Structure 1
Amino acid sequence: MHASTDQTETKLVRAAQYVRMSTEHQQYSTANQDDIIQEYAKKRSFEIVKTYADEGKSGLNVAGRRSLQALIADVQNGVADYEAILVYDVSRWGRFQDADESAYYEYLCKRAGISVHYCAEQFENDGGPTSTIIKSVKRAMAGEYSRELSTKVFQGQCRLIELGYRQGGPAGFGLRRMLIDQAGEAKAQLARGECKSLQTDRVILVKGPEQEIETVNRVYRMFVVEGQRERQIAEQLNSEGINTDLGRLWNRGTIRQLLTNEKYIGNNVYNRTSFKLKQRRVCNEPDIWIRKDGAFDAVVSQELFYTAQGIIRERAKCYSDEEMITCLRSLMEQNPTLSAGLIDAADNTPTSSTYRTRFGSLIRAYRLAGYQPDRDYEYIEINQKLREMHPDLIRDVMARLGAAGASVTQDVDTDLLLINGEYSASMVLSRCRQTKAGSLRWMINVEQKVAPDITILVRMDAANEQVADYYLLPIMDIQTPRLLLCESNGVYLDTYQFDSLDYFTSLSERRKIEVAA
């Protein structure tokens, strides 16, 4: 007999790795993360079959992190061909300001039967009480690190502003960025997109070409002395072939920015808006702005600049409801037909968007002013209301599907829902129209480019206030992209009519298949 040795071949577990690098430290480079993950995989018998990498992306939220979004989508849709996800540490998964958000994304993977491993951490992510506590602390620490770093960076930037140095952003028309050394000596002008390479270097603003400086002063004179509006100034510059610093045409907004930015009188102003930790963008009150007056050489005189500010403030006064309606009535006396374009072109009248914001719609403002359009535009208000209802109905459907145990993802561009990675659905709201004879009709346009497997048609009631019923229309039975429904449509269509979405939800439920004896 020959001696034999039992050899057991270890089966490798298929895994994906997720790496992320922002702009923090070299220790978090994707290459370093990959080395640690590869070593971990080798010791634990993992075979890395796919890599998701977000380079230069903040971990504060999932927005912009396309690879993490793709990973979660693959997991939820059931197309992930691996059993584990390997990550360098908890902070690489994300520095979410809400620790529960980090836990939520990990839970989605766990629910799909895919475990998440943190390779550089000193604990095993085994779901036990110890790992759960440590992981929660680590998540909170990761978020707190970002908050502390944000505060330190902001304080440093404020200090540099008060010293007269420029912080980020293009110089603007008529100005240029100048790189200076630690002794204050000029080194070179920075072109657009260029930045300093030495930590001790600083950036200031200097005057640009004489032709641009003359154009800036000319804009101020046209506005202050000649009394021209921003739109007229923009049209004049465009007709002369003078472009902005970005090589684009001028418009009302770019002229306004040029007329209101204090850098043109040499002031260095910072913190006018805040977007800390990517949470919410806010416009700050002037008393908390950080500033250094006279930091740079002025392009226009202070007298000209502040006169322009006075004119802008006077024009930007807050109109009362009655004053806004009076402006509309005055415009009606001069023009037999009102329109959004006509309102926007009027110099002494609030914009059409202001009317929509204040009164809900232009139609309502027209009614208050006593203006009756030639056509019945009530449908515009109804359609606007339906557009506002649509996101809430979509969220309700997704919540129903989730409660039924289904996985569902939404395409942000088309609102198409992918359910269990198997079939798609879209939702269309149809307003009720009444014919001259008093009959009710609903029109539906099926989006051919999206081509959902099921179209959820939401029919509104006669008053277009409440949902009347639902039609679940499979794509195979939709012969035309445009359908006209009546109150009764025959068995061919009414077979798909439902009073609620309970049946649609039940389609997504998973059931075990009984095994035959």
Structure 2
Amino acid sequence: MNHLSSSRIGSTQYPYPVRAAAYVRMSTEHQQYSTENQAAALFLYAQQRNIEIVRTYADEGKSGLRLDGRHALKNLLEDIETGAADYSTILVYDVSRWGRFQDPDESASYEIRCKHAGVSVQYCAEQFVNDDSPVSSIIKSVKRTMAGEYSRELSVKVFAGQARLIERGYRQEGTAGFGLRQQFVDHTWAPKALLTRGEHKSIQTDRIILIPGPEEEVAIIGDIYRAFVEEGRSEQEIAGMLNQRGITTDLGRAWTRGTVHQVLINEKYIGNNVWNHGSFKLKNQRVRNSPEQWVRADGAFEPIVNKTLFNAAQAIIQSRSYRLSDEEMLDALRQLYLQQGSLSGLVIDEAENCPSSSAYLSRFGSLLRCYTLIGYTPDRDFSYIEINRGLREQYPHLVEETIEHIRSLGGRVTTDPENGLLTINEEFTVSLVLSRCRMTQAGSSRWIIRFDTGLFPDITVAVRMSPDGTQTLDYYLLPAIDMTVAKLTLAQQNEAGLEIYRFDSLEPLFVLARRTSLREMLS
């Protein structure tokens, strides 16, 4: 039986026509749920219940991870909240059509905004009635969490797959660059056709590698390196020389200090395949990753620059910043900010009288820290990057202090060097987790605890951190036997079933680990 039929339990047959709007979204990862299919299902649902669809809002091919770019949903909410809506209910295919947000509260907020404006929401493909009953509320909460978890798991799988391809020597993203070309190869690495700019592979099993480009372009790349290393010319001088010769970049543009600098620092010219310089996972803000997070395969391609020459160029670039003190580097960045009004890695690299962005990264650890030191606040909030970095620095100290305290009580602790799992007294295992505080759009605090289902620790110790990541708020000792989910979201105040695991210190863990001597037992 069609699950949209009028025999559905709890469905309503209206005695008079009810005006409705339909909202449909085709997610990029769920092409089979096209907007046309959703619209057809909603029409059938409406037809069986005496509902008239007077408007349709459609977001074509839009990811459900963020509201950005979903103009139809924005228009729907605006129409409802400004009183422009000429309908009393909204038909949506299922709960996940609002979005696959990592914070399930964000998905719920859009439904709540509709209801507050007096417009009800009906989920036409769900097996429950959206009647605000406790059962429907629980089901929606579970489905919103599952929708977000699906996106997270998909992101992890996609990243792992991309990383494996990089390590095998395949090109994953971006243009080839001046002096190089992209080539199709099949699964046996047999060469096929060259990939021209704007073209994409059409066969799933085909891969892309980099090969040397035309001889004249390869020679120009060599000229750039020799002019920089052997003649001592700056990037700006080299750009001027190339432009005078009428040579353009691979994009057909004039050379600049920044484009020359990128040629001088990119490892693809010595045959290395390096990926994950930046992250944009789950549609969060793009961040610049530290070198230890890069995925690489050295010697994957045929080099067109001698490695010794390349290393000499890197040494020159790094030495330029070493001649400046920290304050001098920051002052140069401060002056650039006053001139430009904003900062980015590209803006820094294009500036003639300023060290490169890679030099700031090497000296100060991150561009964000440099921005903070000169009083510049980017339009986007990247504070979580520094908080995460701080948590990574705190974590080893927490583990070390915990181990030392257990041993001082007579307990025995061993640490698995590969995964950090603690085994206490050969009796039970413990996983320590630092949980960053995340703020919802409504201003509420949330802490997400992910359980390592691969290690199966007997107890997960979740340490809730303050919003700035500098202070410990409390501890949750979560036994595996009672935790049946892969992820747990904690609020400021939680239900009694969770609060029984909350403690102000790690003393309960130390009690479990403490060993009492025979003399103490007999006294």
TM-score (norm 1): 0.61
Q: What is aligned with 1:123? A: 128
In the alignment, which residue of structure 2 is the partner of 1:106?
A: 111
Which digits, 9 at most, give the CA deviation of each residue in 1:250-274, with x for residues without a partner?
A: 2222222111111111111112221
1:265 aligns with 2:261: no
Aligned-partner Cα distance in 2 for 1:247–1:12: 60
Q: Cα distance, 1:29 vs. partner?
A: 1.5
CA distance in 1: counterparts of 2:206 and 2:97, whole angstroms: 31
Q: Secondary structure at the match of 1:204?
A: strand
Q: Deviations over 1:191-219 (max 9, x none)?
A: 22221222211111112222221222211
Deviation at 1:324, TM superposition (A): 5.4
Query: Does residue 255 in structure 1 map to residue 260 in structure 2?
Result: yes
Give the counterpart of 1:307 among 309, 312, 335: 312
- Cα 1:130–1:357 change in 2 (3 A) is closer
Structure 1 pair 52–191 and aligned structure 2 pair: CA distance change class (3 A) = farther
What does the per-residue CA deviation read over 1:350-381, in whole Å, with 9 as the maximum and x for residues that have no partner?
99x999864449xxxxxxxxxxxxxxxxxxxx
Q: CA deviation at 1:154?
A: 0.8
Matched, 1:189 2:194: yes
Note if contact 2:332-2:354 (Cα within 8 Å) is conserved in structure 1.
no
Letter in 1 for 2:251: L
Tell me: CA distance 1:61–1:118, structure 2 relative to 1, closer, same or farther (3 Å). same
Instruction: State the Cα deviation string for residues 33-79 of structure 1 (Å, max 9, x = none).
Output: 12211111112222222222222211111012122122222222221
Q: Taking structure 1 as reference, are residues 301 and 57 closer, same or farther at Cα in structure 2, changes over 3 Å only? A: same
Look up the equivalent residue of 1:212 and give its one-letter code: E
Q: Superposed, which structure 2 residues align to 1:348-359 within 5 Å?
A: 358-359=373-374
Q: Provide the C-alpha distance between the structure 2 equivalents of 1:241 and 1:269, rounded to a whole number of angstroms.
A: 31
- Whether the 8 Å contact between 2:274 and 2:294 is mirrored in structure 1 is yes
Match of 1:200 among 178, 181, 205: 205
Structure 1 stretch displaced more, 143-152 or 290-299: 290-299
SS state of the match for residue 32, structure 2?
A: helix
Letter in 2 for 1:316: S
Distance 2:331 2:49 in 1: 76
Relative distance call for 1:214 and 1:104 in structure 2 (3 A) is same
1:327–1:349: 8 Å Cα contact kept in structure 2? Answer: no
TM score, norm. by length of structure 2: 0.61
**Deviations along 1:389-441, whole A, 9 cap, x unmatched?**
xxxxxxxxxxxxx9xxxxxxxxxxxxxxxxxxxxxxxxxxxxxxxxxxxxxxx
Per-residue CA deviations over 1:445-497 (Å, capped at 9, x if unaligned) read xxxxxxxxxxxxxxxxxxxxxxxxxxxxxxxxxxxxxxxxxxxxxxxxxxxxx
**Aligned counterpart in structure 2 of residue 150 of structure 1, from 134, 155, 160:** 155
Q: Give the Cα–Cα distance (whole angstroms) in 1 for the partners of residues 374 and 274 of structure 2.
A: 36
Instruction: Calculate percent identity across the aligned residue pairs.
Output: 58
Q: 3-state DSSP class of the match of 2:176? A: coil
The residue that corresponds to 2:279 in the other structure is 274
Please identify, of 138-147 and 8-17, the stretch whose mean Cα deviation from structure 2 is larger: 8-17
Letter matched to residue 153 of structure 2: E
| Aligned AA (2:242) | L
Structure-2 separation of matches of 1:82 and 1:318: 68
Q: 1:135 to 1:223 in 2, by over 3 A?
A: same
Check whether the contact 2:90–2:121 (CA below 8 A) recurs between aligned residues.
Answer: yes
Distance in 2 (CA, whole Å) between partners of 1:26 and 1:38 is 20
Paired position in structure 2 for 1:94: 99
Could you say what the CA RMSD is over the residues aligned between the two structures, in angstroms?
A: 3.4
Aligned to 1:33: 38
AA in 1 matched with 2:246? G
- Aligned mates of 1:285, 1:9 — CA distance in 2: 59
Tell me: CA distance 1:178–1:324, structure 2 relative to 1, closer, same or farther (3 Å): closer
**Secondary structure at 1:52's aligned position in 2?**
strand
State the one-letter code of the partner of 2:30.
Answer: H
Question: What is the match of residue 21 of structure 1?
Answer: 26
Determine helix, strand or coil for the equivalent of 1:309.
helix
Q: Against the structure 1 CA distance between its residues 263 and 355, is the aligned structure 2 distance closer, same or farther, given a 3 Å change threshold?
A: closer
Between the aligned partners of 1:154 and 1:173, the Cα distance in structure 2 is: 27
Is contact 2:98–2:110 with CA below 8 Å preserved after alignment?
no
- Return 5+ residue gaps in structure 2 as ranges: 1-12, 341-349, 360-366, 381-441, 443-523
Distance of 2:288 and 2:323 partners within structure 1: 18
Query: Per the alignment, do residues 28 and 347 of structure 1 end up closer, same or farther by CA in structure 2, a change over 3 Å counting?
Result: closer
Tell me, yes or no, if structure 1 residue 54 matches structure 2 residue 74.
Answer: no
Q: Is the 8 A contact 2:257 2:352 kept in 1?
A: no
Q: Report the CA distance between 1:111 and its aligned residue.
A: 0.9
Partner of 1:132: 137
Residue 222 of structure 2 corresponds to 217
Between structure 1 and structure 2, the one with the greater Rg is 1
- Output the CA distance in 2 between the equivalents of 1:130 and 1:9: 23
Call closer, same or farther: CA 1:82–1:191 in 2, change over 3 Å: farther
SS at match of 1:316: helix
Change (3 A) 1:22 1:175: farther
Partner of 1:71: 76
- Deviation larger for 75-84 or 130-139: 75-84
